[in-house]
């Protein structure tokens, strides 16, 4: 059966290609060689002859991710920030970039750095305000619109289809950071996005043992050619062993994501209205302002990411993280283990994130243990 006829769950479980044709191995091999020989005519035996340009392990992982996203091509990078900064490098000098005011702080900081250097002009918009994106766009000047959905760490939801129409109307491209949803639930390219980004460290890998980023494009064009060239020139492709580990994680992404989502929804419902919680931020709740949009563009659950606004402010929010016994106080998200993070501490005093926000990455543990752990930590405040 062709890959086009297979459902995404099967593509992921078989790492796209299934059994290795050369050996019969059901687990894809790792090609660790840094260089590859040429034939008797001095032509490369593979399409590339040096690992900085690519290798078979990298290509198979990229092909699998592109197939899951419904894209024409994927490029893996040695980190999420390597992927983001490479895409931003393709923005023409002085061109206009639009992004939400609350998003992953590494992306925001890098954009502000480029603005400070005069490389780009930047407009940050409030996605909670109707018409804010449209007002931020500048016809003929805006080159790139970057959005996240749900937004990290407030989990506000942006309508991808509406954003793509507005973006294309002014001649720009839309890039969507879909890290929090993985390729399992939201497919931005099918909703009109031009490029989708994942910090593959997170849900795509899912085991907190790989640092990786990936860009997937709807069509291969000059900008994509430039991204590919830049990745090679700066030496940023994902190394073979990391590709192997990422592919290992990718094979279970659907079952992991669904369990994380089910756990997160149960926890969100349990703590909504809790006396020591000012508010639960989770798009799976009917009370969430973006719930209707999330329900329309997400499937297989609303993800494992949520935040609690803790009564008591900065100090109590920070203490909550340190008093958890099952949930680990650590950075990152999307792994099989649950993590808690006080975002204001991590992002610093200039962060727009509320002082009392605790970000939770819900894993696959038994949900009753997670609820009990949060209850005891809240009771100690």
Q: Are residues 38 and 177 in the same domain?
A: yes
Is-contact 324 378, C-beta < 8 A? no
Q: Are residues 73 and 171 in the same domain?
A: yes
Q: Are residues 274 and 319 in the same domain?
A: yes
Q: How far apart (Å, rounded) are the C-alpha atoms in residues 79 and 69? A: 19
Is-contact 270 282, C-beta < 8 A? no
Query: The domain that contains 284 carries what CATH number?
Result: 3.90.1150.10
Query: The domain that contains 26 carries what CATH number?
Result: 3.40.640.10
User: Taking each helix axis from N to C terminus, what angle separates 80-89 and 222-234, rounded to the nearest 10 degrees?
Assistant: 130
Q: Are residues 324 and 340 in the same domain?
A: yes
E strand or H helix at 278: strand 277-281
pLDDT of residue 211: 97
3-state secondary structure 286-306: CCCCCHHHHHHHCCCCCCCEE
Coil vs helix vs strand at 287: coil
pLDDT of residue 264: 98
Q: Are residues 82 and 222 in the same domain?
A: yes
Q: How far apart (Å, rounded) are the C-alpha atoms in residues 362 and 45? A: 45
Q: Are residues 269 and 211 in the same domain?
A: no
List b or e across 51-71, with b for residues whose CB sees 16 or more CB atoms inside 10 angstroms. bebbbbbbbbbbbbbbbbbeb
List the structure tokens of 184: 């399992």
Give the mean pLDDT of the chain. 95
Q: Are residues 347 and 213 in the same domain?
A: no
Give the chain's domain count. Answer: 2
Is-contact 320 355, C-beta < 8 A? no
Q: How far apart (Å, rounded) are the C-alpha atoms in residues 371 and 272? A: 12
Show the DSSP H helices in the chain as ranges.
8-13, 56-69, 80-89, 105-116, 132-136, 160-169, 182-185, 222-234, 240-250, 253-271, 291-297, 313-322, 343-347, 367-379
- Smallest Cα–Cα separation from 60: which of 19, 97, 100, 98? 19
Quote the longest CA-to-CA distance of the chain. Answer: 75
pLDDT of residue 4: 65
Name the residues annotated as catalytic: 52, 104, 177, 202
Q: How far apart (Å, rounded) are the C-alpha atoms in residues 44 and 273? A: 63
pLDDT of residue 1: 46
Q: How do residues 155-199 score in pLDDT, each as one tens digit?
A: 999 999 999 999 999 999 999 999 999 888 899 999 999 999 999
Q: Are residues 264 and 205 in the same domain?
A: no
Q: Are residues 113 and 69 in the same domain?
A: yes
Q: Are residues 166 and 264 in the same domain?
A: no
Residue at which a domain ends, from 250, 265, 289: 250
Q: Are residues 191 and 264 in the same domain?
A: no
Residue at which a domain ends, from 250, 283, 303: 250
Residue at which a domain ends, from 198, 226, 250: 250
Q: At a CB cut-off of 8 Å and minimum separation 6, what does 2 contact?
A: none
DSSP per-residue codes, 93-120: TT-EEEEESSS-HHHHHHHHHHHHTTS-
Whole-model pTM: value is 0.95
Q: Are residues 323 and 374 in the same domain?
A: yes
Q: How do residues 88-144 score in pLDDT, each as one tens digit?
A: 999 999 999 999 999 999 999 999 999 999 999 999 999 999 999 999 999 999 999
List the structure tokens of 77: 């990078």
What residues in the chain have per-residue pLDDT under 50? Answer: 1
Q: By residue range, what is the domain housing residue 259? A: 254-379
- Smallest Cα–Cα separation from 226: which of 144, 126, 297? 144
């Amino acid at each position: 059966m062709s890959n086009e006829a297979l459902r995404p769950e099967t593509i992921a479980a078989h790492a796209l290609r299934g059994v290795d044709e050369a050996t019969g191995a059901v687990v894809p091999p790792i090609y660790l060689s840094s260089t590859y020989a040429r034939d008797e005519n001095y032509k490369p035996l593979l399409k590339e002859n040096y690992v900085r340009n690519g290798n078979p392990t990298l290509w198979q992982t990229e092909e699998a991710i592109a197939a899951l996203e419904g894209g024409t091509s994927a490029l893996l990078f040695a980190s999420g920030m390597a992927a983001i900064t490479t895409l931003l490098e393709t923005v023409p000098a002085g061109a206009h970039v639009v992004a939400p005011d609350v998003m992953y702080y590494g992306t925001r900081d890098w954009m502000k750095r480029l603005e400070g250097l005069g490389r780009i002009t930047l407009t940050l918009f409030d996605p909670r305000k109707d018409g804010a994106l449209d007002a931020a766009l500048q016809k003929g000047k805006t080159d790139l619109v970057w959005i996240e959905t749900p937004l990290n760490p407030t989990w506000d939801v942006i309508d991808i289809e509406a954003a793509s129409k507005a973006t294309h109307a002014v001649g720009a491209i839309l890039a969507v950071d879909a890290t929090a949803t993985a390729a399992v639930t939201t497919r931005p390219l099918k909703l009109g996005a031009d490029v989708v980004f994942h910090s593959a460290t997170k849900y795509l890998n899912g085991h907190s043992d790989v640092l990786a980023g990936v860009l997937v494009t709807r069509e291969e064009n000059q900008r994509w050619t430039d991204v590919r060239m830049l990745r090679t020139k700066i030496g940023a492709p994902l190394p073979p062993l990391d590709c192997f580990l990422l592919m290992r994680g990718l094979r279970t992404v659907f079952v992991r994501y669904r369990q994380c989502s089910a756990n997160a929804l149960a926890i969100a419902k349990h703590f909504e209205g809790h006396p020591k919680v000012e508010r639960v931020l989770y798009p799976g709740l009917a009370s969430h302002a973006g719930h209707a949009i999330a329900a329309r563009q997400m499937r297989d659950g609303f993800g494992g990411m949520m935040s609690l606004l803790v009564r008591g402010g900065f100090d109590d929010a920070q203490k909550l993280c340190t008093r958890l016994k099952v949930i680990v106080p650590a950075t990152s998200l999307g792994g099989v283990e649950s993590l808690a993070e006080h975002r204001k501490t991590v992002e610093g005093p200039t962060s727009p994130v509320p002082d009392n926000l605790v970000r939770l990455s819900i894993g696959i543990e038994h949900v009753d243990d997670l609820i009990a752990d949060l209850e005891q930590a809240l009771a100690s405040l």
